Each structure stands twice: as C-alpha cells, then as structure tokens.
Amino acid sequence: MTGSPLDPPDSLPEILRAACDTLADGLMLFRSVRDEQGRVVDFEWLYTNPAASRIVRRDDADLRGKRLLVEMPGNRESGLFERYVQVVETGEPDQHEFHYSHDGLDDWFSNRSTKVGDGFLVCFQNVTRERRLEREQEAQRQLLHRMFMQAPVAVSVVRPPDFVFELANPRYEEMVGRTGVTGKTLATAFPELPPGEGVFQILETVVRTGEPIVTPELCVPIDRDGDGVPEEAYFMFTSQPIVARDGTVDVVLTVAVEVTERKLAEDALRRADAQKDEFLAVLAHELRNPLAVVRSAHALLRGAEADEDAIAQVDAVLERQLAHMSRLLDDLLDVGRLSRGKLTLEPGKVDFGVVVREVVGDHRAAFESRGLTFEACLPDAPVWLEGDAVRLAQVVDNLVTNALKYTPPPGSVDVSVRRGDGEVRLEVRDTGVGVDPSLTARIFEPFEQAPQSIARSSGGLGLGLALAQRVAELHGGALSVESEGVGRGSVFTLTLPVAPGEAATPPSPSPAPSPAPTPTDAGPWGFLVVEDNEDAAELVVMLLRRRGHSVQHVALGADAVEAVRDGEFDVVLCDIGLPGMDGYEVARAVRALPGGDRLRIVALSGYGQADDRRKSREAGFDAHLLKPASLDAVLAAVAARE
C-alpha cells in the first residue's frame, strides 16, 4: 500500500496556515492510502487544526501520519469512510449532519468534505447543543400542539383585520357545531353573527388597544344544527393579543367556555328566589286573613252585647277560617313530600264518578253564592279504577276550587266525566281569567299562581295544581291545561287509566261495617292529656270536661308515665313533640306498665307524615290525629277501640 502525493501542510503559506489554526470550525486534511489495485483503503492524517483537536480530543502531533480507520474505526461503522471515498473518487463535495457515537465521542456534527489532490479536506462543527435545543423546541412544539388539540376548552387563533382562522382545536369545532373553519374569516364561518357586535366588537377592541379582554358572559346567536335558526348560547371569552416585533397585533388567541347551562341555572335560581319571596308574602297574607277574623271574633265574643245569633254566626266564621288554615298547612306538608319524592298513595277500588259527585256537591253552594253558573255532567254508571280515593278527591277539589277562584261573575264552570278507551277523562271548563300561553308549561310548578292582577281575595299558595299533577302522575294519568289566552277561560283535563276488565266491575260486596260510635255514645272516660303547650292543653281539658269526662293534665313525658303508674285512666291523649321524653317514648313506656295494654293511647300532634304515623303505630298508639283536630274527631278515635 502506498500513500498518494499531497503537499504537506508545512509547505502552506504562513498566513494561510495561521488562518486555518484560528478557525472556530474543525479542519482535517487527509490523503488517500490505496492498495495495489489503486483502491482507497484508508486515509492518512496530514493536518488537524486546534479546533478539530478540541472536538476529537486528539492534537495534530498525535494524529499526523496515522491512519484514520486505525485511530478512529468508528468512521467505517458510521458510514463516514464510504462518504469520504466517494468525495475523493468523484470529486463531488459532500455535506451532511450526523450523530457520531464511536471512539469515545457521542455528539452531533455538521460535516463538509471537499476533494484536495488525492485526498480530502473536511470542515466540521460540533452541533450537539444546537440539535439538543432543536429537539427540545420540537418537543415543546409537540407538547403545545397536543395541549391545543386536547384542551378541554375551546381555543382559536384568528388573524386581523378580517379575523381569518389560523387555528381551531377540536373542542372549538365541537362547541360551535361545525368543522373546517381554519382558513375562513369569522364572518364567513359564522354568518349568523351580527357584524360589529358581540364577538366582532371584542376582537376589534383587542386589536385596537393591544390589551386582553375577559368577557364573563356573552350571549351569542349560533346555528349549531345548521337549520338556519340560531339558538341563544352563553360563553365566557378570554381574548389575548399576540404582538409582533413591530408592536402590532399579529393574531388574537381566544379561549371560550360555554356557560349556557350555568346561565340558565342561575336564571332559574333567581326566578325561584323571586318566587320564594312572593310565596312568603302570599303566605303571610293568607295567614293574616284568618287571624284577623279570629281576632275580630274574639273581640265580639268578649262584648257583653253578644247574643246567641251573633255567637252562632261567629262560630260558623271560625269553623270556615280554621278549615282554611288547615288546608294551607296540608298543602305545605304535601308540597314538602312532593319536593322529596315522598308523596305516596293508598290505592284501592274507587268509583271515580262518586268522588267527583261528592266534590261537586260540596262546592255547589259556593258557586251559587258567587253568582256563577255551575253545571256537572256525570255518568250514572260507576267508573271503577284503582286509586287513592282521598288523593283523587284532593285533585278534583283543587281543579274545581281553582275554577271557582278565577272565574268572576257572571261566569260559568262546567264539570264533566267521560269514559274513553281504557281511560276516564275529567274536564273542568271555565270562562274565567284564562292562562297566558307562555305560562302553561309553568302553571303546574309549585308556588306558581295566576297573574297578580287577579284580586288577592282569590287566595291560595300556588300549590294546588302542582300537587294535583303529581297525584295524577302517581295514578298513571296526566293533568293538562288549555287556554286561548288571558280573559278567554281555560280547560283543565285530568286523564286516568281504567284497569282492563275492571272498568265496570264494582268491588266485591263486604259486610256493612258497624256504625262508628259517636261522641255522644261514648264515655265518660278518664283522660290523661300530655301537652307542653299550656294554652292548647287548657282548652282541650275544658272541652273534655264539658262533655262529662274526667281529665288530668301533665306537660312532660316522664310525668305522664308516673301519672299512669299511680292513677286510673282510660285514655292517654299525647303530643309527640314533647321536651325530653317524646311521645313515642311515652307510649312505649305506658304500654310496658302493668295494665298498659288496656289503655287507649291517641297521638294528637303537628307531625302527620307517613313516617310519623308509622312510628306512632310501632310505639303503641291506637290512633294518630293531626292538629288541629276537632273534639268530635278525638272522641271518635277513642270510641273506635271500644
């Protein structure tokens, strides 16, 4: 093998050698080593400048005259040797970047090799830092791209002045209901947006001022379905200007979050809050009315001039007002059960025609006294269905009472019951104030009432229709309203299913029950009244004694148990909500006493929900009466165990 002739570096002009020695780039000069056939089999170092020595960590004196593949065999493994041979044989220069991980090196290099005589000159740089920085920047770009594409919020980038979409992530396209907005102007992509307003105004302000804008809530008309009918949606926008080197706004980045559901929920809460305030005002009004009557009646009864006729008249007034207050409290309790989903039924075989007939009969006098025409078209044959007779009567009563309240004289109200295919339909049609069509969907919500232009004397808490609809649904039926508008009357329709094969079949006859004992048939008994409200207890004691019964009163549960242990009683009339030992504990303790099983124990309480009654039964009460209960009801409950 022989080396090819090449001028040694020492023969170079001094100025040229000095220039090569001071270059920041590495320089190496090689001449070819050929075999007997003239093939290049290696290269011999002729010159290595200081920069190259620093890069490869070998100086010129150490490398000069030595073979490339002997000192740095990685040149063959990396493919560099073949590239150098190609340069020498063809005369074509070669330039490329590569990663060299051989001969103790692990770096990236930028290489340019040129043929010189029968050898080559290679100029190279260590670009590891640059390549690492590029990789980091590329990784950052990829991360930003993934963040942009996978962001849970809508992100877009538009370029002024026409606001052309440069970027829009998938969440943005999903939110607006269209794809392919990139490259389009805002006006082209969203023709439903009013120019110069809303989104346009925000973007124009950002471009003009160079300041970001945060819009907590903006109503935007948007045609997501593509049917040409925009819907109102609410968005929170954060628009950030991206400023160029010259200080102008290059693009605007906008992050959007749809807040439509939150906005609607807030509006609903505001409406509910307003309804609450209105309801409390109405409740105060409804409670003050009977209280005012009671106060006036009290003043009249205290007067020395009160005669028997006046007392009888006051008695009737008080009876009506007490019934009114009881209905208010019942409605409040029922709507509480309704809101918790605990409104339940006690189903049985019911003749719906009889239910309606009884309600109509109860109200006929009231219609006549108001000067209203009241007609009822009811079937002669029974209309049997499975249902809760008390709850169904409550529904019918609410509908008829509603018509009575909101039909001014000389109007008319018609009630009809008709059998259909597997169902029965009750219609209550009136010529009253009617319903605004925009309110028909809300009229069955709790606390909704007719417009306040209706005379306040109509009364009510706005609970009846909500309860009526829920009871209808619990029976598998429906309640709806139709009206041509305010002042045009309304038609309420109750539809209930009739069980197949049972529609015209009355329930199996059962032996007639023995007549319930009346208060005049019963007693006299020995009563223990357990009540912590002194006024309530005093009146009950007075009423019982007036009927000829012996009565003792205690205020605490422990005293009641002690009194039963030491005394002789027939009946314990006990409140539930007692301080300390409550009524349930009293009943259990009394039952556990010798002879306690023979006593009649009756709960007289303001707690009257199904769970309260269940607890009463389990504690040993014979009956559970809800305050305010009449004395006749109390005595009837006691006599029922005779």
State whether 359 and 473 are in the same domain: yes
Predicted pLDDT of residue 583: 94
* Predicted structure pTM score: 0.49
Predicted pLDDT of residue 609: 73
State whether 430 and 364 are in the same domain: yes
553: domain CATH number is 3.40.50.2300
Contact call for residues 433 and 406 (beta carbons, < 8 A): yes
Domain boundary, last residue among 96, 130, 164: 130
Give CA–CA dist 634/217, Å, rounded. 61
Domain that holds residue 457: 348-497
487: domain CATH number is 3.30.565.10
What backbone torsions phi and psi does residue 296 show, to the nearest 5 degrees? -65, -40
Domain boundary, last residue among 223, 258, 293: 258
Residue whose C-alpha is closest to residue 459's, from 282, 275, 277, 280: 282
Give CA–CA dist 599/278, Å, rounded. 48
Q: Is residue 635 part of a domain?
A: yes
State whether 281 and 254 are in the same domain: no
Q: Is residue 464 part of a domain?
A: yes
**Torsion angle, alpha carbons of 318, 321, 322, 323, to 10:** 120
State whether 486 and 571 are in the same domain: no
Q: Is residue 502 part of a domain?
A: no
Predicted pLDDT of residue 507: 45
Q: Block means of pLDDT (10 residues each) for the chain, length 642 residues?
A: 55 69 90 95 95 91 94 95 96 95 92 95 94 92 89 94 94 91 94 92 95 94 89 94 93 94 90 70 61 66 65 70 67 63 78 92 87 92 89 89 89 93 93 85 67 40 77 91 90 88 46 43 84 89 93 95 94 93 95 94 85 91 88 89 60
- Count: domains in the chain: 5
State whether 360 and 456 are in the same domain: yes
State whether 330 and 359 are in the same domain: no
Contact call for residues 42 and 70 (beta carbons, < 8 A): yes
Helical axes 260-302 vs 308-339, angle rounded to 10°: 160
Give CA–CA dist 498/476, Å, rounded. 10
Contact call for residues 504 and 382 (beta carbons, < 8 A): yes
Please identify which residue in the block is written with the tokens 């020492």: 10
State whether 106 and 168 are in the same domain: no
Helical axes 583-592 vs 610-619, angle rounded to 10°: 20
21: domain CATH number is 3.30.450.20
Query: Which pair of tokens denotes residue 271?
Result: 């409406």
Predicted pLDDT of residue 520: 46
Q: Is residue 139 part of a domain?
A: no
Give CA–CA dist 51/20, Å, rounded. 9
State whether 69 and 120 are in the same domain: yes
Q: CA–CA distance from 345 to each of 338, 359, 472, 502 (Å)?
A: 12, 19, 11, 20
Domain boundary, last residue among 258, 292, 323: 258
Give CA–CA dist 401/398, Å, rounded. 5
State whether 92 and 113 are in the same domain: yes
Q: Is residue 270 part of a domain?
A: no
State whether 625 and 573 are in the same domain: yes
Count the residues in the chain. 642
State whether 284 and 364 are in the same domain: no
In 303-343, alpha helices (H): 308-339
Q: Is residue 450 part of a domain?
A: yes
Query: Which pair of tokens denotes residue 336?
Result: 């509480």
DSSP state of 383: -
What backbone torsions phi and psi does residue 159 show, to the nearest 5 degrees? -110, 125
Give the number of other Cβ atoms within 10 Å of residue 214's Cβ: 11
Q: Is residue 138 part of a domain?
A: no
Beta bridge partners of 552: 528
State whether 62 and 97 are in the same domain: yes
DSSP state of 4: P
Q: Is residue 296 part of a domain?
A: yes
